[in-house]
């Protein structure tokens, strides 16, 4: 039976909800290291293929290389991506890796993802649908699907990510409702085609995405105004590298209070930051007059030709507005997770995020990864490294009967 037609009597070992970076890495690890048989695992995701969200988000930004080092990837062995590329020496001068830290190119990373997916036959395990409800019984989890069918598994992994909640400021919603040309670069179904955009574009946001999108537009000949609540914050990574290992994580693990952990995560994250190399490119574009950086918040906006964005002390005119404002900070999962918490009294911190055990178990049959595992995995939870850390912990959990 194919993944498209679940057998209603079949009890799977694992149902993974979410086929992004986290869900697919966990699937590969469960099959490759966890002794799970392919026919006992399904990945539920509404995208046309696994990793669809990753592909569209990275394509829209125009980023050429990842921000993370080459040991952060979907494969099992830490050096699998480097070996896949033929080794560091063979790759020298090819653009496959970029300084500093030998960050892999987006194309190399994508080719390696495709290799991992095909090695474990993951596309065949993809059930293209949305999980709309979860019923936890004493011996199984029923995952209700959007098409009215259900999958039954011994355990479910929630690998939901944040991508379904791009952050839209109120003024931008109103501008959009008024018919103006406003898009969020991570909106589902939005493809950024710089050649289709007018000459003057306002990019809203002050982090790596805003800078990447601005540079993409400048290269296509646009004049870009970046509106950011702060001046450029220059950091290589989105948190201090000490959070990738025991240096900072020891302190985090020793902090038991979830609110104190949330405070540590907030402090650790370099939110809205730009790596030095990209910052240099942006500065050069600003120097040439192709881009400007405005520190401020849009108070309100008027649609028209051009649209007018009112900041507290001046007005910006633009023919199109692109939001690079990231994702909502609220807990992902919407009603699926809200109802699960309510029906099973699952523990949450005051920030609304799950309080889980060391093995990322929220309930004997429910595991989490990504943002939902943040209070246990720490500041790197949302990143590729977070998926690898989550896999180590989930694989070491004792199976429920
Ligand atoms: C442009 C960009 C570049 C990044 N670059 C890096 C980098 O270089 N290095 C790094 O470490 N990190 C990077 N990140 C951060 C992080 O690794 C990515 O955001 C990654 O895609 C997160 O993966 P995920 O699986 O948690 O979430 P997502 O990619 O959001 O995937 C979650 C999936 O779950 C699905 N889903 C949600 N709800 C349901 C439901 N009810 N039923 C079924 N499916 C559902 C969604 O549709 C989605 O397909 C980057 C992020 C972005 C946006």
Q: Is 23 in the pocket of ligand 1 (CB under 6 A)?
A: yes
Residues 282 and 381 in one domain: no
Residues 70 and 121 in one domain: yes
Q: Give the number of the atom of ligand 1 that is nearest the alpha carbon of residue 103.
A: 8
- Between the CA of 21 and the centroid of ligand 1 the distance, in Å, is 6
Residue 244 belongs to some domain of the structure: no
Last residue of a domain, one of 300, 323, 346: 323
Q: Give the number of the atom of ligand 1 that is nearest the alpha carbon of residue 380.
A: 11
- Between the CA of 104 and the centroid of ligand 1 the distance, in Å, is 18
CATH of the domain at 85: 3.50.50.60
Q: How high is the pLDDT of residue 1?
A: 39
CB 239 within 8 A of CB 252: no
Residue 246 belongs to some domain of the structure: no
Residues 33 and 79 in one domain: yes
User: Ligand 1: which residue has its CA nearest to atom 21?
Assistant: 54
Residue 401 belongs to some domain of the structure: no
Residue range(s) defining the domain that contains residue 99:
11-164+329-395
- The DSSP element (H or E) to which 15 belongs, if any, is strand 11-17
User: Ligand 1: which residue has its CA nearest to atom 41?
Assistant: 131
- Given the structure tokens 């000490």, which residue do they identify? 242
Q: Cα separation of 256 and 174, whole Å?
A: 42
- Between the CA of 34 and the centroid of ligand 1 the distance, in Å, is 23
Q: How high is the pLDDT of residue 339?
A: 98
Give the count of domains, the chain: 2
Residues 227 and 131 in one domain: no
Q: Is 185 in the pocket of ligand 1 (CB under 6 A)?
A: no
Residue 125 belongs to some domain of the structure: yes
- Between the CA of 371 and the centroid of ligand 1 the distance, in Å, is 10
- Between the CA of 139 and the centroid of ligand 1 the distance, in Å, is 30
How far are the Cα atoms of 61, 203, 293 from residue 210, in angstroms, in the given order? 8, 6, 11
> Ligand 1: which of 72, 160, 187, 367 to mutate, most ligand atoms within 8 Å of CB?
160
Q: Is 379 in the pocket of ligand 1 (CB under 6 A)?
A: no
Residue 256 belongs to some domain of the structure: no
| Crossing angle of the two packed helices 276-287 and 208-219, in degrees rounded to 10 | 40
- Between the CA of 55 and the centroid of ligand 1 the distance, in Å, is 10
Residue 122 belongs to some domain of the structure: yes
Residues 178 and 159 in one domain: no
CB 303 within 8 A of CB 236: no
Residues 80 and 198 in one domain: no
Residues 53 and 150 in one domain: yes
Q: Is 336 in the pocket of ligand 1 (CB under 6 A)?
A: yes
CB 215 within 8 A of CB 62: yes
Q: Is 80 in the pocket of ligand 1 (CB under 6 A)?
A: no
Helices (H), 271-397: 276-287, 334-344, 374-377, 384-395
Chain length of the chain: 401
Q: Is 17 in the pocket of ligand 1 (CB under 6 A)?
A: yes
User: Ligand 1: which residue has its CA nearest to atom 16?
Assistant: 383
Q: How high is the pLDDT of residue 2?
A: 44
Q: Which of 251, 230, 241, 281 lies closest to 62 in space, CA to CA?
A: 281
Residue 218 belongs to some domain of the structure: yes
Residues 82 and 18 in one domain: yes
Residues 142 and 64 in one domain: yes
Q: Which residues of 167-180 are buried (b: 16+ CB within 10 A; e: fewer)?
A: bbeebbebbbeeeb
Phi, psi of 152 (to 5 degrees): -115, 125
3-state DSSP helix/strand/coil % of the chain, to nearest 5: 35, 25, 40
- Between the CA of 365 and the centroid of ligand 1 the distance, in Å, is 23
- Between the CA of 91 and the centroid of ligand 1 the distance, in Å, is 27
DSSP letters for 105-152: BHHHHHHHHHHHHHHTTGGGGEEES-EEEEEE-SS-EEEEETTS-EEE
Residues 128 and 64 in one domain: yes
Query: Mean pLDDT per segment of 10 residues, for the chain of length 401 residues?
Result: 58 97 98 97 98 97 96 97 86 86 95 98 98 94 97 97 96 96 96 91 98 96 97 93 93 96 95 95 98 96 95 95 96 97 97 98 97 97 98 88 57
- Between the CA of 187 and the centroid of ligand 1 the distance, in Å, is 13
Residue 247 belongs to some domain of the structure: no
Residues 302 and 195 in one domain: yes
User: Ligand 1: which residue has its CA nearest to atom 14?
Assistant: 383
Residues 174 and 312 in one domain: yes
Q: Is 296 in the pocket of ligand 1 (CB under 6 A)?
A: no
């Amino acid at each position: 039976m194919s993944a498209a037609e679940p057998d209603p009597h079949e009890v799977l070992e694992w149902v993974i909800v979410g086929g992004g970076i986290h869900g697919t890495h966990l699937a590969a690890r469960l099959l490759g290291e966890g002794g799970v048989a392919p026919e006992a695992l399904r990945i539920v995701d509404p995208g046309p293929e696994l990793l669809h969200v990753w592909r569209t988000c990275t394509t829209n930004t125009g980023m050429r290389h990842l921000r993370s080092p080459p040991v952060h990837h979907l494969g099992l062995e830490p050096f699998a991506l480097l070996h896949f590329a033929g080794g560091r020496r063979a790759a020298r001068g090819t653009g496959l890796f970029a300084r500093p830290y030998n960050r892999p190119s987006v194309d190399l990373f994508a080719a390696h993802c495709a290799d991992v997916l095909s090695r474990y036959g993951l596309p065949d395990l993809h059930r293209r649908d949305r999980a709309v409800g979860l019923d936890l019984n004493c011996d199984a989890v029923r995952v209700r699907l959007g098409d009215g069918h259900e999958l039954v598994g011994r355990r479910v992994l929630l690998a939901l990510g944040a991508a379904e909640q791009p952050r839209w400021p109120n003024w931008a919603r109103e501008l959009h409702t008024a018919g103006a040309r406003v898009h969020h670069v991570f909106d589902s179904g939005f493809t950024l085609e710089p050649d289709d955009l007018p000459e003057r574009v306002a990019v809203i946001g002050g982090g790596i995405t805003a800078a990447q999108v601005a540079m993409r537009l400048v290269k296509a000949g646009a004049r870009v105004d970046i509106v950011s609540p702060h001046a450029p914050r220059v950091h290589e990574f989105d948190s201090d590298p000490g959070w990738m290992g025991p240096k900072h994580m020891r302190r985090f693990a020793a902090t038991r209070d979830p609110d104190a952990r949330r405070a540590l995560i907030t402090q650790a994250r370099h939110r809205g930051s730009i790596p030095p190399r990209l910052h240099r490119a942006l500065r050069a574009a600003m120097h040439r007059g192709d881009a400007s950086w405005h520190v401020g918040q849009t108070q309100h906006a008027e649609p028209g030709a051009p649209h007018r964005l009112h900041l507290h002390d001046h007005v910006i005119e633009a023919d199109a507005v692109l939001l690079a404002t990231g994702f909502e900070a609220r807990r992902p999962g919407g009603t699926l997770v809200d109802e699960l918490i309510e029906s099973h009294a699952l523990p949450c911190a005051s920030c609304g995020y799950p309080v889980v055990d060391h093995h990322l178990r929220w309930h004997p049959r429910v595991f989490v990864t990504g943002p939902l595992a943040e209070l246990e995995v720490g500041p790197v939870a949302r990143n590729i490294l977070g998926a690898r850390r989550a896999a180590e912990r989930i694989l070491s959990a004792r199976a429920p009967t």
